[in-house]
Amino acid sequence: MSSLKDKRKEYLTVKDLQKVLDSCTLQLNQIDEVWPNIYIGNVAVAQNKASLLKLDDSTHFDLDVYFKPAADFIHKALKSPGGKVLVHCIMGMSRSSTLVLAYLMIYHHLPLKKALQKLIQKRAIYPNRNFLALLLDMELQLTRKKKTCQIL
C-alpha cells in the first residue's frame, strides 16, 4: 500500500501546481520580462505601438495553436539578432503564460513546476486548470520521450 502512495507522490497534480501559483506575491503589471527577451503582457500592450516599439517587436501569433509550434516560434525569434518576443492575451495571465511555460519545457527542458516557479518570480500568472492539465500531459510526454531516447 505504501508503494502505491509513494508512486502517487512522484507525479504532480493540478492542485500541486496551483499551490505553486498561489505562492506568487507579485502584482499584475501590463507587461513583464519573464525570461531574457520574452515578455508576457495584456492586450492593451499588444495594441500599443509605442510599447511594442520599445520592445523592438510587433509579432503576433494565434493563441489557438499547439504548444510545439508556439515554442518553435519563440525559439526561432529569440535566435535572430536582437530577437525579443511578446506573448500576450487579454489579461496576460493564462494563455500567454501557458505558451511561455510550454516553450521553457520544450526548449530549456525545465520541469513544469520549475518553469512555474521561474515565471512567478517575474510576473503574476495563473494558467487555468485546463491549461495546467495540458502542460502536465506534455510534461509526461516529454519525460517518456527523454527516457526512450536514453534507452536507444
Catalytic residue among 12, 89, 101, 120: 89
**Stated pTM of the model:** 0.70
Confidence of residue 57 (pLDDT cuts 50, 70, 90): very low
Give me the residue spans of the domains in the chain. 27-151
Q: What pLDDT is recorded for position 102?
A: 96
The CATH fold assigned to 27-151 is Protein-Tyrosine Phosphatase; Chain A (3.90.190)
| Bridge partner list, 88 | 41
Q: Letter for the amino acid at 18?
A: Q
Residue 137 CA to residue 99 CA, distance in Å, equals 14
What pLDDT score was predicted for residue 59?
34
pLDDT for residue 63: 36
Tell me which residue has cell 487579454: 90
Digit-coded pLDDT (tens) for 79-130: 999 999 999 888 888 889 999 999 999 999 999 999 999 999 999 998 888 8
Helix (H) or strand (E) holding 32: strand 31-35
Positive or negative CA dihedral for 93, 96, 100, 101?
positive
Asked about 149 being catalytic, the answer comes back as no
| Listed residue (34, 66, 59) closest to 45, CA to CA | 59
